[in-house]
Structure 1
Amino acid sequence: MSTSHETAPPPAPTRCWSSEPYADALRAGRGPLYLRRTDGWLLHLDVERWCGGPDEADRSVLTRCEGSVLDVGCGPGRLVAALCAGGRDALGIDISTAAIAHTTSLGGRALRRSVFEPLPEEGRWRTALVVDGNIGIGGDPGALLTRLTRVLAPGGLLIAETAPVDVDERADVRLVRDPDARGGSVFPWARLGTPALLRHSRPDWLAVAQWSVGGRCFVALRNRSSSAKPETAKSTAVMSSQRWAKPLPDSPVAPS
């Protein structure tokens, strides 16, 4: 009889961006799609823009990328595909199978993985992208920023998109295509404006640029870490909404 006190974690339900409303919207290439807060407040998600080519605001991000690029929550992959088409070393990660399929169909490299799970080349990426609201992943921006200090190389660049208003919000939300829908799994999310992101980034990050294009706002932060420290055993940074019930592939998916 084993004397170990360790037990396997319970399987987590498929939640968050891997849910059917999101997958259906990506397959169709259009909305409507909303994040619905438990009090009924709605945030419209711009699926058509995500599924299109890079716009002027996206290009302002792409031109600032340095070295190898990791796109966190790459969605349908327009940024990864653009980087790969330009010969850049780029990888998208997302927990949605539909997002990975869309990314690879565009010629991008992508891996079905949460940012809080072990990643290829961890501690050696030169740039991380967190755009399209993905600073809200897991509902704890501080935990995400801490995780990214370990994903990036020392001195690496984080380019994050922020809300165009001064907000620092955490909420339980669900993904819906119908504004009146009540069903679907609830998961934690966050929204940050630029002032809030700068507060959360201290002292591990140095702000190096802020800009706005077409009503979208961005911040570039430099990783102050002097060494890429390995994660301690599954700390609180591993959000329940980002865990997986099944093993994940070890290699990125590339177009055949």
Structure 2
Amino acid sequence: METEDWLTDTRVSYDTVAEGYADQVRGALARPGYLRAALTLFADAVREAGGGPVADIGCGPGHVTAQLHALGVDAFGIDLSPGMIDVARRDHPGLRFEVGSMTDPALPAASVSGVLAWQSLIHIPDGDIPAVLGHFHRAVRPGGVLHLLFHVGDTSRVKTEGYGGHPMRVPVHRRRPERMTAWLREAGFTVEAQLLLDPDGPAAQAFLFARRD
């Protein structure tokens, strides 16, 4: 797929499923577990790096941004889908959300102390990953932190339905942690920690914690 095509398909798809997706994830972080623990680790790392604003890129309906805010992080959300941003602003009116793409984020150099991208890089083609991570590196202050969550595997597919049975057309790429780690190092990050969720199951996921050199 050409870059313009997959970006448009992804934006339109998430506009279509915004309400259903928000209903599905609402409350996902309310109970203790690995997801909340990972966000707590990230929040601690941001404070250790001196604090400051954090960009939740691919924020969807804003539930992760809100959890970071509850942990004392000055977090704001960016998402490709205007529909998702509308839901985020409605559900979390005290927080900042804006429409934008990680392929060209409107973040000035060294303007944030951290970037979080949970299950959003999964939609980016391999050929565009180095540029996206380069944007992240440029935006993060020296010593700042990056936190990723993504599906583990070697396959790519086009998701055609989801979140209430609505039609979608969105690419989903599964990647090995070692591949993502190599890309991060090439972009100028140092990978500090890795955690696998359900590594032997059909829906394995990986957390990576990295820091800008």
**1:52 and 2:12 matched:** no
Cα distance, 1:52 vs. partner?
A: 3.3
**1:62 and 2:49 matched:** no
The CA RMSD measured in Å over matched residues stands at: 3.0
SS in 2 for 1:25: helix
- Compared CA separation, residues 184 and 113, structure 1 to 2 (3 A): same
Task: Check whether the contact 2:56–2:77 (CA below 8 A) recurs between aligned residues.
Answer: yes
- Compared CA separation, residues 16 and 223, structure 1 to 2 (3 A): farther
Unaligned runs of 5+ in 2: 199-203
Give 1:148's aligned residue: 136
- Compared CA separation, residues 219 and 87, structure 1 to 2 (3 A): closer
Give 1:173's aligned residue: 158
Unaligned runs of 5+ in 1: 1-11, 31-46, 225-256
**1:161 and 2:149 matched:** yes
Which residue of the other structure, out of 29, 33, 56, is the alignment partner of 1:71?
Answer: 56
Give 2:124's aligned residue: 138
Higher Rg of the two aligned structures: 1
Give 1:220's aligned residue: 209
Give 2:10's aligned residue: 17
Give 1:196's aligned residue: 179
Cα distance, 1:198 vs. partner?
A: 1.2
**1:205 and 2:197 matched:** no
Task: Check whether the contact 1:22–1:175 (CA below 8 A) recurs between aligned residues.
Answer: no
SS in 2 for 1:18: helix
Give 1:126's aligned residue: 113
Tell me how far apart the structure 2 counterparts of residues 118 and 220 of structure 1 sit (CA, whole Å).
21
Give 2:201's aligned residue: none
Task: Check whether the contact 2:130–2:183 (CA below 8 A) recurs between aligned residues.
Answer: yes
- Compared CA separation, residues 173 and 216, structure 1 to 2 (3 A): closer
Cα distance, 1:118 vs. partner?
A: 4.4
Cα distance, 1:188 vs. partner?
A: 5.9
Give 1:239's aligned residue: none
Tell me how far apart the structure 2 counterparts of residues 109 and 95 of structure 1 sit (CA, whole Å).
15
SS in 1 for 2:124: helix
Q: Give the TM-score normalised by structure 2.
A: 0.73
- Compared CA separation, residues 175 and 93, structure 1 to 2 (3 A): farther
Q: Which amino acid is 1:138 matched to?
A: I
Give 1:228's aligned residue: none
Task: Check whether the contact 2:104–2:135 (CA below 8 A) recurs between aligned residues.
Answer: no
Task: Check whether the contact 1:73–1:92 (CA below 8 A) recurs between aligned residues.
Answer: yes
Tell me how far apart the structure 2 counterparts of residues 121 and 61 of structure 1 sit (CA, whole Å).
26
Cα distance, 1:17 vs. partner?
A: 2.9
Task: Check whether the contact 1:16–1:175 (CA below 8 A) recurs between aligned residues.
Answer: no
Q: Which amino acid is 2:149 matched to?
A: E
Task: Check whether the contact 2:59–2:65 (CA below 8 A) recurs between aligned residues.
Answer: yes
- Compared CA separation, residues 104 and 87, structure 1 to 2 (3 A): farther
The C-alpha deviation readout for 1:199-230, integer Å capped at 9, x for no partner, is 22223121101123465320111112xxxxxx
The C-alpha deviation readout for 1:140-199, integer Å capped at 9, x for no partner, is 22222122111111222111113234x3x5x57354349xx9x876x6653322111112
Tell me how far apart the structure 2 counterparts of residues 160 and 205 of structure 1 sit (CA, whole Å).
12
Cα distance, 1:113 vs. partner?
A: 0.8
Task: Check whether the contact 1:84–1:109 (CA below 8 A) recurs between aligned residues.
Answer: no
With a CA cutoff of 8 Å and minimum separation of 6, indicate the structure with the bigger relative contact order: 1
Aligned length in residues: 188
Task: Check whether the contact 2:58–2:80 (CA below 8 A) recurs between aligned residues.
Answer: yes
